[in-house]
Amino acid sequence: MRTVIISARYVEQYKLENFLVETFGFGKVGVRLTRGKYQCTVPRLLRPEEIERLKEQVTVEHYQEI
């Protein structure tokens, strides 16, 4: 499992969770709000085209792969 940090508004959590579930499948991702940023546990890092789709659906202020 990989971790990505996404800075987005609190009201964007539903959209973010839906995007990740659509991308990876139900039960394969975790989203936790930590210190004002979403810490997302995903099976693999997002591909460049997936990051672009994410930014179209969610107002992303910052995206960081760990």
Please compute the mean of the pLDDT values over residues 34-59 and round it to a whole number: 95
Please compute the mean of the pLDDT values over residues 1-28 and round it to a whole number: 95
Residues listed for the chain? 66
Regarding pTM above 0.85, the answer is: yes
CA 36 to chain centre: 14
Structural domain for 39, as ranges: 2-65
Percent of the chain predicted with pLDDT > 90: 89
CATH code of the domain in which 35 resides: 3.30.70
Position 30 scores a pLDDT of: 96
* C-alpha to C-alpha distance for 42 and 62, rounded to whole angstroms: 17
Position 36 scores a pLDDT of: 87
Number of domains making up the chain: 1
* C-alpha to C-alpha distance for 58 and 27, rounded to whole angstroms: 21
